[in-house]
Amino acid sequence: MPEVVMPRLDPGMASGKIVEWLKKEGEIVQKGEPILVVEGEKTTFEVEAPESGVLTKILASPGTDVEVSHPVAVIGEASTGAQSTSPPRNVGRAELSQSAQTTQVERHETVRSERVVASPAARRLAQEHGVDLTKLKGTGPGERISREDVLAAVEQVPSTGVSSKISQPTVLKRVKLEGIRKVVAERLGFTARTAVQVTLTMEADATKLVELKDKEDHVSFTAFAVKAAAKALETNHLINSTIDGEEITTYSDVNVAVAINIDQGLVAPVVRNANKKSLKEINSEIEELSQKAKEGRLNIEELTGGTFTITNLGAYDIESFAPVINPPQCAILGLGRIAYKPYVVGERVSARPATLLTLVFDHRIVDGVPAAKFLRDVKSHLEDPQSL
Amino acid sequence: MRLRELTYADALREALREEMLRDPNVILLGEEIGVFNGVYKVTRGLLDEFGPDRVRDTPISEAAITGAAVGLALAGMRPVAEIMYMDFLPICMDQLATQAAKMRFMSGGQLNVPMVLRTQYSLGRQHGAQHSQFTPAWFFQVPGLKVAVPATPHDAKGLLKSAIRDPNPVLFLEGGLLYRTKGLIPEEEYTIPLGKADTKRKGDDVTIVGVSRLVGEAMTAAKTLEEKGISAEVIDVRTLQPLDLDTIVESVKRTSRLIVASDDIKTGGVGSEISAAVTETAFDYLDAPVIRVASPDTPIPFSPPLEQQYIPNADKIVQAAVQLIG
């Protein structure tokens, strides 16, 4: 049953005075028919019935002030008569008519939908300034949220002691956190808030690795590292585990996730049972997973079940880095580039290819010594790649 | 710069006379323009000064006037033809829209039609439904034709000189109610380019684009709005083809609101086209719907009180602006 509410006649209007009721309680009214006269600050307006029906109840008598949007009358269905007492459900907005005017300009229909009524300019500004339009009250015609409403909201944002008048950097664009970006943000944020991350770094001699890589064409350093880590995880069980609240789960399967960068963000598909696969199998599986990732064809099976993660930034000339653990796993191995580095034996310095291995582990699951032992095992496997 | 006051009609006359003195190929033709000095006295004294070879009274045949102008232009002359009322343009339409406007395109630039077709609209003068119409939007559909709509004596002179010198056919639409309005005009020679709008007044809250007579009404409205605390910018399009959309859009980006005021009929009119173009170009800058202040979709009533109700004016522009800003 529609209510008739006090309309806003001008932006500054807070309340309006009922001047006169043109209809009595119990009288039949037609939609669009003037039913009362309201006085705002500047003008007197006739308020029209939002729906046809019976003027069931007048809630404010002439002379009283009523706040904007507060009900002044209830209109019931003609058949139900004037005795309906159920609370009003549909709040229809009264439409204004300025009867003295004979303008050629079309009157804008009052919008009744749930959609936020905001001008294109207001929407653009709201996006630029990160203003939530649903929290604003429009002061334009039909309570449309206008450019000024958004700018006023921007002015009001309680700043961190910095006046909003101080020029802010020009916004290029704002992108809602969604899709892969949202998953990455949530997962890595979760790790940062919960895991006790400790970083260990160790240099590995890559001389033999480079020699073998030259022979074993097309096998990537990442594939070698996956195999080496998988082999080390077979004996360092605690690293091959996950944590869930109060419980640590250690696995007999060694499933190594490999971080892959795609246009949309970061994914980490899983090489299952990597310890039981040959180097070539691992290498081709990583290539296949990368291809699928780029085409967006990875399935849930391929994206879940990892027990450990490897990430390689060597291709971007990164020396070493401490990655964030892929939750709920225990640890992650970050690979830097392979490059010639000084090697000191006794008093002599020579050069050899080497790489820095960085293990980040969750100290809640495992302590420093077992983690160091694991990393040393990875290092020895990589330094003797023939054994892989 | 020395200035003097001239009427719109005299400013047009000066433009014609100066161009006739400058270029012997400029000739005038039309009904009653010679012996009678023109119905609105725009051609006053020109027959005496330039002789009947260059100022030709014609029979009452708008098709012949326009067709002769097209032929003269193709033969290297620069004819300025006058059609007494804009209402008669349908009679000229084949020569104007199908011949003059297309020659250059269809000949691959081998032919030019440097003609001007002057005419006026008399809305507001109780001339009735057949002698009052303003139908400029028809010509949005005629590429190849330029359309000028001067609103002031100053612009009328400068635009007419440019129209005469232009190698393309130009439809020059004068405001019948504007002929006796006065304005300041430089002593020195000047021209105004076709296709450049003029911001007649700066403002912040709403842009009012005016066409012809309604530029003046928009200026009056802007003064009233100022008293209500609303700062209106007034842009005179000056030409409809080419339309200077850049100037309009630049203004709308600042004010976020647009009213287009034109004497033509609202549906499918000048306001419709400008509204659509601005919405396409600057949608994200609009803070309110674009409003057209225009004539109702009916024939124009002869009855003076009815015609006064009918025609757009400053009050209607003010109402639109107040409603837009809310």
Summarised one tens digit per residue, pLDDT across range A48-100 is 888 888 888 888 888 888 888 888 998 887 654 444 444 334 444 444 444 43
The residues near A172 (Cβ < 8 Å, ≥ 6 apart) are none
- If asked whether residues B106 and B207 sit together in one domain, one would say no
Q: DSSP states of B225-249 as a string?
A: HHHTT--EEEEE--EEETT-HHHHH
Catalytic-role residue among A149, A237, A363, A377: A363
Instruction: Answer yes or no: is B193 within a domain.
Output: no
- If asked whether residues B114 and B244 sit together in one domain, one would say no
- If asked whether residues B89 and B165 sit together in one domain, one would say yes
* One-letter identity of residue B214: L
pLDDT at A42: 57
CA distance B134 to B317: 18
Catalytic-role residue among A218, A367, A381, A384: A367
CATH classification of the domain holding B34: 3.40.50.970
Question: pLDDT confidence of A41, banded at 50, 70, 90?
Answer: low
Of A11, A105, A119, the CB nearest to B319: A105
Instruction: Answer yes or no: is B26 within a domain.
Output: yes
Task: Report which of B72, B140, B135, B138 is spatially closest to residue B103, judged by C-alpha positions.
Answer: B72
* pLDDT, tens only, B126-163: 999 999 999 999 999 999 999 999 999 999 999 999 99
The answer to whether residues A122 and B308 touch, using CB atoms and an 8 Å cutoff, is no
Instruction: Answer yes or no: is B124 within a domain.
Output: yes
Pairing of strands A270-271, A265-267: unpaired
**Under DSSP, is residue A31 helix (H, G, I), strand (E, B) or coil?**
coil
**B contact set with A (CB within 8 A):** 256, 266, 283-289, 291-296, 309, 312, 316, 319-320, 323-326
* pLDDT, tens only, A305-316: 999 999 999 999
**Fold exhibited by the domain A3-97:** OB fold (Dihydrolipoamide Acetyltransferase, E2P) (2.40.50)
Q: Distance, in angstroms, between B28 CA and closest chain A CA?
A: 40
Cβ separation B319–A120 shorter than 8 A: no
Q: What is the mean pLDDT of residues B62-77?
A: 98
ipTM of this predicted structure: 0.70
Of B256, B284, B289, the CB nearest to A108: B289
Final residue in a domain of this structure, among B160, B186, B212: B186
**Domain map of chain A by residue range?**
3-97, 111-174, 180-387
Final residue in a domain of this structure, among B147, B165, B186: B186
Would you call B32 a catalytic residue per the annotation?
no
pTM, two decimal places: 0.57
Mean per-residue pLDDT over chain A, rounded: 83
CA distance A381 to A236: 14
Q: Which phi and psi angles does A297 have, rounded to 5°?
A: -105, 10
Q: DSSP states of A165-222 as a string?
A: TSPPPPP-------THHHHHHHHHHHHHHH--EEEEEEEEE-HHHHHHHHHSTT--HH
Task: Report which of B269, B148, B268, B293 is spatially closest to residue B207, judged by C-alpha positions.
Answer: B293
- If asked whether residues B155 and B231 sit together in one domain, one would say no
Final residue in a domain of this structure, among B151, B186, B221: B186
CA distance A5 to A71: 4
Token look-up 């392979």 returns A338
The residues with which A48 forms a beta bridge, in sequence order, are: A34, A95
CATH classification of the domain holding B225: 3.40.50.920
For domain A180-387, say whether CATH 3.30.559.10 is its number. Answer: yes
Superfamily (CATH H level) for A111-174: E3-binding domain (4.10.320.10)
The residues near B47 (Cβ < 8 Å, ≥ 6 apart) are B33, B34, B35, B37, B55
Nearest residue on chain A to B283, judged by CA atoms?
Answer: A120
A vs B, Cβ pairs < 8 A, gives: 61
- If asked whether residues B229 and B181 sit together in one domain, one would say no
Range of the domain at B145: 3-186
- If asked whether residues B50 and B80 sit together in one domain, one would say yes
CA distance B65 to A260: 77
Instruction: Answer yes or no: is B106 within a domain.
Output: yes
Cβ separation A146–B287 shorter than 8 A: yes
- If asked whether residues B204 and B161 sit together in one domain, one would say no
Cβ separation B286–A121 shorter than 8 A: yes
- If asked whether residues B296 and B177 sit together in one domain, one would say no
- If asked whether residues B285 and B180 sit together in one domain, one would say no
User: According to the per-residue pLDDT averaged within each range, which of A240-244, A326-330, B215-219 is highest?
Assistant: B215-219
CA distance A99 to A166: 47
Of B285, B316, B320, the CB nearest to A121: B285
Provide the total of helices (H) and of strands (E) in chain A, helices listed first: 8, 19
Fold matches, A111-174 and A180-387: no
Of B286, B325, B326, the CB nearest to A120: B286
- If asked whether residues B224 and B291 sit together in one domain, one would say yes
Q: DSSP states of B141-177 as a string?
A: G-TT-EEE---SHHHHHHHHHHHHH-SS-EEEEEEGG
- If asked whether residues B271 and B141 sit together in one domain, one would say no
- If asked whether residues B113 and B232 sit together in one domain, one would say no
Would you call B154 a catalytic residue per the annotation?
no
User: How many domains are there within chain B?
Assistant: 2
* pLDDT, tens only, A200-237: 999 999 999 988 887 777 789 999 999 999 999 999 99
